[in-house]
Amino acid sequence: MSFTLYNWVLSGNCYKVRLLASLLDVAYETVAVDFHPGQQHKSEAMLALNPAGTLPVLVAGDLVLTETPAMLAWIAATFDPSGRWWPTNDARAMAEVMEWLAFSSALTATSGEARLKAVLDRPIDLPKALAGAERCFRQLEQHLVERRFGGGVWLVGDHPTIADIACFPYVALSPDGGLEHDAFPAIREWLYAIRGLPGFKTMPGIHELHELREGEAVHG
């Protein structure tokens, strides 16, 4: 089984799907959608596929998914026989992953919005978005510090999950919107750990691990 991803290369949400597929070595097709400036996601054809007019959209046979967390869960459940990326056999771990999937939406609405303001000059309240993003980062930092005291690296359990993938892009891309990582050492180490995973792939604004280690001033 494969799937088709309706994709905009600069979207952090689209990148989440591409990243998980790469980590799981899943082959898929992409359809490029001109989000900006073409507004193709609002075209008649795209609205017929996804009435919300958002990206990404995943299509697999008669299955159409329009919410990124659902796409991550479906990909992990379909292509990861180990069950580690989406731990449905562990009720507590699954619930904790779902909490972080919800948290990733807050990152999109704050850090992601600040980035869109910087990149596309979206008419948003930038100070409000940055303040919200900083609150999210403080919460994430505290959790990661607590995990490190217990010997953990990932958001949930002893293996990366779709929780890490869901939260990664709009944390890694936050310098584009004006929020640096200097005050969040545990977050920086978590970002490094994700970049070090076999199969990790980049997107514009997110660099390979070796590029960061060679020059810590590089953003992303």
In a domain, 220, yes or no: no
Tens-level pLDDT at each residue, the chain (220 residues): 789 999 999 999 999 999 999 999 999 999 999 876 767 788 888 899 999 999 999 999 999 999 999 999 999 999 999 999 999 999 999 999 999 999 999 999 999 999 988 887 778 899 999 999 999 999 999 999 999 887 889 999 999 999 999 999 999 999 999 999 999 999 999 999 999 999 999 998 887 775 555 444 444 4
Co-location of 115 and 71 in the same domain = no
Q: Are 158 and 6 in contact (CB under 8 A)?
A: no
Asked whether residue 64 is domain-assigned, the answer is yes
* 99 and 74 housed in the same domain: no
∠ CA 109-112-118, rounded to 5°: 125
Segments forming the whole domain that contains residue 174? 91-214
**How many other β-carbons are positioned within 10 Å of the β-carbon of residue 203?**
19
pTM over 0.95: no
Q: What is the CATH number of the domain that holds 131?
A: 1.20.1050.10
Instruction: Give the CATH number for residue 54.
Output: 3.40.30.10
Contact 18, 69 (CB under 8 A): no
The amino acid present at 89, given as its one-letter code, is N
pLDDT of residue 211: 56
- Residue 7 pairs with which residues in a beta bridge? 32
Q: Are residues 74 and 168 in the same domain?
A: no
99 and 208 both lie in a single domain: yes
Instruction: Looking at the structure, tell me whether residues 100 and 57 fall in a common domain.
Output: no
| Residue 68 in tokens | 């990124």
With respect to residue 192, please indicate whether it lies within any of the assigned structural domains: yes
Whose CA is closest to 167, among 191, 197, 198, 199? 191
39 and 96 fall within a common domain: no
Query: What's the structural domain count of the chain?
Result: 2
Q: Is-contact 194 188, C-beta < 8 A?
A: no
Type of residue numbered 118 = A
